[in-house]
Chain A
Amino acid sequence: MAVFKLWRKIRRIGRTAEPAPPRPSGPPCPKAAALHGSLQVRHVDAGSCNGCEIEIGSAFGPVYDAERYGARLVASPRHADALLVTGPVTRNMAVPLRRTFEAVSEPRIVVAVGDCAIDAGEFAGGYGVHGPVASVVPVDVQVPGCPPEPAAIVAALRGLTGR
Chain B
Amino acid sequence: MIGWALVGACVMAGLGVLAAVVAPRSARPAWAGAATVGIGVAGLIAGVAALSGQEFHAWLPGLLPIAGLRLAVDPLGGWFIAVTGGVLAAAALFGIGYAGGGHGPSGRGVQAALPVFAAALLLVPAAGSVSTLLVLWELMALASLLLILAEHRGRPAVAEAGWWYAALTQVGFVAILLGVLLYAAHAGGDSFADLRAAHLSPALRGTVFVLVLAGFGSKAGLVPLHVWLPRAHAEAPSPVSAMLSAAMVNLGVYGVIRVGFDLLGGGSRWWWLLVLTLGAVSALYGILQATVAADLKRLLAYSTVENMGLVFLGLGAAGIFFTSGAPGLAALALAAALLHVLNHAGFKALLFTAAGSVLRATGTRDLDALGGLRSRMPVTTVLFAIGALCAAALPPGNGFVSEWLLLQSLVHALPAGVVVTAVAMPVAVAVVALTAGLAVATFVKALGVGFFARPRSDAAAAAKESPPAMLAAMGLLAATCAASALAPAALGPALSRSVGVAVHTPATVLSGGLSLHLAGIASTVSPLLILIAVLVALAGCVLLVRLVSGRVVRRRAVQVWACGAGPLTPRMQYTATSFAEPLQRVFDDVLAPETDVDVTPYAESQYLVARMAYRARVPDRVEHALYVPIIAAARRLGRLGPVLANGSVHRYLAYGFFGVTGVLLVLAVTR
Contact = CB atoms under 8 A, between A and B. Distances in A.
A100 B556 contact: no
Nearest to B561: A103
Interface string A62-90: 00000000000000111000000000000
B568 to A, nearest CB: 12
B558 interface: yes
Contacts of B562: 99
A99 B558 contact: no
B513 interface: no
Contact of A96 (B556, B558, B564): B564
A97 B561 contact: no
A85 B562 CA distance: 18
B613 interface: no
A95 B564 CA distance: 7
A103 B565 contact: no
A102 B558 contact: yes
A147 to B, nearest CB: 23
B564 A100 contact: yes
Contacts of A96: 563-565
B561 A105 contact: no
A96 B564 CA distance: 4
B interface, by DSSP: helix, strand, loop or mixed?
loop
Contacts, number: 19
A91 to B, nearest CB: 14
Nearest to A77: B561
Interface in B561-577: 561-565
B556 A78 contact: no
Nearest to B565: A96
Contacts of B564: 93, 95-97, 99-100
B566 to A, nearest CB: 9
B139 to A, nearest CB: 62
Nearest to A99: B564
A79 to B, nearest CB: 10
Interface in A89-130: 93, 95-97, 99-100, 102-103, 105
Nearest to A103: B561
Nearest to B553: A105
Contacts of A78: 561
Nearest to B563: A96
Contacts of A100: 564
Nearest to B560: A103
Interface in B604-656: none
Contacts of B565: 96
A99 B563 CA distance: 8
* Among A78, A93, A103: residue with most chain B CB under 10 A: A103
A37 to B, nearest CB: 17
Nearest to B564: A96
Interface string A133-151: 0000000000000000000
A77 B565 CA distance: 14
Contacts of B556: 105
Interface of A: 76-78, 93, 95-97, 99-100, 102-103, 105
19 contacts: A76-B561, A77-B561, A78-B561, A93-B564, A95-B564, A96-B563, A96-B564, A96-B565, A97-B564, A99-B559, A99-B562, A99-B564, A100-B564, A102-B558, A102-B559, A103-B558, A103-B559, A103-B561, A105-B556
Interface of B: 556, 558-559, 561-565
Given A95-B564, A100-B564, A102-B559, 9 more contacts: A76-B561, A78-B561, A96-B564, A96-B565, A97-B564, A99-B559, A99-B562, A102-B558, A105-B556
Task: List the 9 closest pairs (A to B, CB-CB), nearest first.
Answer: A96-B564, A99-B564, A103-B561, A100-B564, A78-B561, A76-B561, A103-B558, A77-B561, A96-B565
